[in-house]
Amino acid sequence: MNEFQLAFYNENKYIKCLSEVYSGLNSIEEFLLNIEINNSYRDIEKIISIYDKIFKYGEIAYHTEYKIGRVYKPLYLVNPGEFSKSNSYWHIRLKLKSPDIILFDDIYENKLSQLLKFLKHLFSKIDNYFASSKVAQLNKFKNLLDDIRADIKNYLSNVEHRNIISKREKLDEAKLKQIPFGGLYYTAHLENIYSILNKGILSHNLAHSNGLLTVDISNKEVNERRNRIVSGLNGNLHDYAPLYFNPRNPMFYFLCRNRPKESLVLMRINPHILMEKDVSFSDGNAAARTTKFYTSIDDFNQLNWTIIQNEYWTNYPDGKRIKCSEVLVKKMIPMAYVTDIFVYNTNALERIIRLFPNHYGIKTEIKNNLYF
C-alpha cells in the first residue's frame, strides 16, 4: 500500500462516498412509495434528478463513472432520427472508476459496489411498461433497499458515536496540555486486534471470561499482583482496562525485548475519556502496592509529570514504577474513543488494514520510533 492509498484510508474517503450514497436512499424510498401509490414505474425524470444529486457532487463524483442518457434500439441504428420512446430507451452507466476506491471496496466487502449495482438495476426497470404492473418486483426492490440500509448503517454508526463523544464534557486545556503524547495508550497483540475492533478494549476479566484473547501478552507475575481490590476503586484492578500516559514505558520495553515488534500494536485513546464515569488514574504502575489512585481530575498534580514525560526512567528514584502511571477505565473502552493505531512495519500495517475497514475513523500508520 503506497502513501497515497494510506492517506485515502486515513481520511476515510471510502466512508465519505458510502455515506453520500446512503444519504440519498431516503429519496429512493420515497420514489418507490410513489410507484406503489401511482402504480407506475415511468417517472424517469424524477429518478434521474435523484441520481444526479447523489453522483454529480461531493466525494463520490471523483470516484464513480456516472452517465445517464438515451440509446437507440438495435432496429433503429440506421437513420434513427430524434430520440423517442419508440426508437430508444434510457441507459445508465454507473460504476466505481478510481483505483483507490476499487482497492478499498474490496477491503470493505464491496459495500459501495453492491449499492451501485442495486441502483443501476433499479434504474433499468424505470420507464419499463412491462415492469410497471409487477407488484412482486416493487416489493423486491423495497426489501433489498431495507437490507442494504440496515447493513450500511452498521458501518456508519461509529461515525455517529464519535460525533456524540465530541459533544461530551472535555478536559480543560491546562490539564489536556499535561498529557504529553496527545492521548493515552493501550498495547495489544496483532492477533487480538480483530476481537478488539468488534468488542472494544476490554478489561482483563471481561476479555478472559468471554474467551476473546487469542494471545495473552500480559506478564503472569505482574497480573497476579493486579488481582486485588483497591481502596477507592469500584472493583478489582482486573475489572479495568489499563491505559498509559507514555507509550514508551517499562512494560512496553519488556514486550519489545521479548516479542516480535511486528506483533505489537499501540492504540492511542482520546484523552477526554478521563471525563467518563468509572475512570481513575494512578501515580505509578497499578500492580505496585505503593501506587496511589485518584478519581478526580483535580488530582492531576499528584502525578510526577517530569518522569512520565521523560524518555528514560532509570535516572530517577522509583522511576520504573512512576513511568507506568495509568488510566483505568471500568469494563471496556468503546472503539469510538480510539483515534490512532500505530504499528512497527509495513507487514503489520497491511494486516491491520485488511482486518478492518476504516468506518471506525481510526488513523493507522507506521511509527517504529515508538518501539524500543
Options 59, 248, 321, 326, the catalytic residue: 326
Name the 3-class secondary structure at 370. helix
Q: How far is residue 200 CA from its own chain's centroid?
A: 11
Binding site members for NAD(+): 186-188, 226
Report the 3 state secondary structure along 264-292. EEEEEECHHHHHCCCEEEECCCCCCCCCC
Spatial distance between the Cα atoms of 322 and 320, rounded to a whole number of angstroms: 6
Q: Which helix (H) or strand (E) holds 294?
A: strand 293-294
**Of the candidates 13, 362, 16, the residue with the CA atom closest to the CA atom of residue 201:** 362
Tell me phi and psi for residue 208, to 5 degrees: -75, -40
Considering the candidates 162, 226, 268, 321, report the single residue annotated as catalytic: 226
Cα pseudo-dihedral 336, 338, 339, 345, rounded to 10: -140
Nearest to 265 by CA among 162, 158, 365: 365
- 311 catalytically annotated: no
Cell numbers found for residue 245? 500516559
Q: Give the rounded distance of the alpha carbon of 195 from its chain centre.
A: 14
Alpha carbon of residue 160 to chain centroid: 11
d(CA 294, CA 215): 31
326 has catalytic annotation:
yes
Catalytic residues: 226, 326
